[in-house]
Amino acid sequence: MLYSKKAGVLAAFLAILLLVPSGIHAFNGNSLIGAGLNAGAFFPTVSDDSSPNINNNLALKFDIALRLTREWELEAGFGYIRNGLFQCGTRVADIHSYPMAVNIRRNLYTWGIFIPYLKAGAGYVLNDIDLSGISGKAGIENTYSLNGGLGMDIHLTKKFIFNFDFGYMYYKPDIRIRHNGTDEKISFDMSGITATVGLRFYFR
43/36 Cα distance (integer angstroms): 21
CB 152, CB 163: distance < 8 Å? yes
Q: Cis peptide before 99, with omega less than 30 degrees from 0?
A: no
List per-block mean pLDDT (blocks of 10 residues) for the chain, which spans 204 residues: 53 53 49 88 72 73 89 92 74 85 90 90 92 72 93 90 94 79 76 93 81
User: Would you list the domain boundaries of the chain?
Assistant: 2-203
Annotation: CATH topology of 2-203: Porin (2.40.160)
**The pLDDT value given to residue 90:** 67
Contacts of 18 (CB under 8 A, 6+ apart): 106
Contacts of 196 by beta carbon, 8 Å cutoff, 6+ apart: 38, 39, 40, 41, 59, 60, 61, 164, 165, 166
This prediction's pTM: 0.77
